[in-house]
Amino acid sequence: MDPHQFESVIPRSEYRDFLDLADRGARQLHGRVIWNVNSTAQGGGVVELLRPLLGYARGSGVDARWVVISGNPEFFVITKRLHNHLHGADGDGGALTREEQRVYEGALAGNAAELVGLVQPNDVVILHDPQTAGLIDAVRTTGAAVIWRCHVGLDHGNALARVAWDFLRPYVLDADGYVFSRAAYVWDGLAQERIAVIQPSIDVFSPKNAEQSVAQRLSILSRAGIVPQRATVAPTFTRCDGTPGRVDRTAEMRQLAPLSPEDRVITQVSRWDALKDPIGVMSGFADHVAGRSGAHLLLAGPATAAVSDDPEGAAVYAEVDAAWQRLPAEVRRRVHLASLPMADTDENAAIVDALQRYADVVVQKSIAEGFGLTVAEAMWKERPVVASRVGGIQDQIVDGESGVLISDPHDLRAFGTAVAELLVDGDRARRIGAAARERVREHFLGPRHLAQYLKLIQRLDTRDRESLTRRRSRSPRPPGAH
């Protein structure tokens, strides 16, 4: 992906600094590979981050690569449990004992052997989230620098979060660097000099955020079966690699009747995850918006079978569907559930782009959130956003200026009132939307993100090599020897 695209969206001085940084980074990293390792190739915020960051790194001459680990169902049940605990939530209520460590380590053993065979001593390996933490010791034996990147966290650690920390800490301690999205997410017991706080970013040129004409978005939503509309143009978009794409697949819709072109729409786009609180969004709409407005609610998420590292998705969707069926018929007619096709990632992104641009108000009523990139995506599209004051969402939105924050995500009345007021006051909604786009431009684009990663790698490179060599000369601990 061509980094020169940013000339059109950031100030000229920042653009020149970015190109200079990219050039220096390419020279410093020549002959080295920057490996990124995570647990899925599609679905979720980590994927949204990796695709553009690797694309722009490669477009700048850096050999950045992405590999995805495999795992059995038991492994992903455990890592989803870790994910929920790191957010302070009980999840499935299961334990994190020595038996879970055995399953976790066993699933990673084959991945470790394959990865070690690819990595060379001067490479940099960035391991993302709990699924990959158990690879750190093995990768360190190659002599490569190892960074563990945790995308999830909790502003105030509770007992559940500490259980997850205790499970993961022995695997994580010897990483050369740790990256968190917020300072509040940093765990106790980690070496301060190895910690970096790097906020995520969005790619404004991707199919998920690229500009769409009104006719184009209507055509895309019509072809996807979400909004019945006579198309005047083809449902096309531009792929990440610059080639043409077209929406061909349809969403699975759960609804009594389709949306009409005249309907005002409130939209939340997220995984089918209890921490995103889709049932709370639906209840808040039914109890505190539906009676004050004729608007409709559209809850959209990925087709659950397509997200391999989220075993709870299908169960959460089933709960949402059951809650939808319990709504009074007159309210249920105005609530629409959309499971979006995932076979083509760029196609999915174009549909999400159209959904957010079509919305009058975008919401993200999460109970907990690592960062919540769907918020920045909607803000870039000048949508007024109502969201919970949790995690990284509160870093993105300045309350009352570039969005509306709900202090208590369980307060359905406050949530519904905020949404209803934006539907009524169009001038305020437009002001908030315009300010939202500028905030994203200033704080949440790729050049800043890439610059912070390069500075971290430079910091690792200048650290006392003798100390690193001494640490790496020790034999790695056998699995489970914590």
Domains along the chain? 3-201+445-472 (3.40.50.2000), 214-443 (3.40.50.2000)
Distance CA 108, CA 72 (A): 10
In this prediction, residue 477 carries a pLDDT of 47
Token duo for residue 378: 């909607």
Cα–chain-centroid distance for residue 454?
21
Mean residue pLDDT of the chain comes to: 93
Model pTM above 0.85: yes
Banded model confidence at residue 478, pLDDT cuts 50, 70, 90 = very low
Kindly indicate the confidence band of residue 191, based on its pLDDT and cuts at 50, 70 and 90: very high
How many percent of the chain have pLDDT more than 70?
A: 95
Question: Closest Cα partner for 298 from 349, 340, 235, 350?
Answer: 340
pLDDT-derived band of residue 42, with 50, 70 and 90 as boundaries? confident
Confidence bin at 307 (pLDDT 50/70/90): low
Strands 124-128, 33-38: pairing kind: parallel
Give the containing element (helix H, strand E) for 359: none
- Confidence at residue 309, expressed as pLDDT on a 0 to 100 scale: 60
Q: Where are the alpha helices (DSSP H) in 181-312?
A: 214-223, 278-288
Residue 384 has pLDDT above 60, yes or no: yes
User: What is the b/e burial string over 250-289, where b = at least 16 CB atoms within 10 angstroms of the residue's CB?
Assistant: ebebbbeeebeeebebbbbbbbbbbbbbbbbbbbbbbebb
If phi > 0 it is left, if psi is from -120 to 50 it is alpha, else beta; for residue 348 that is alpha
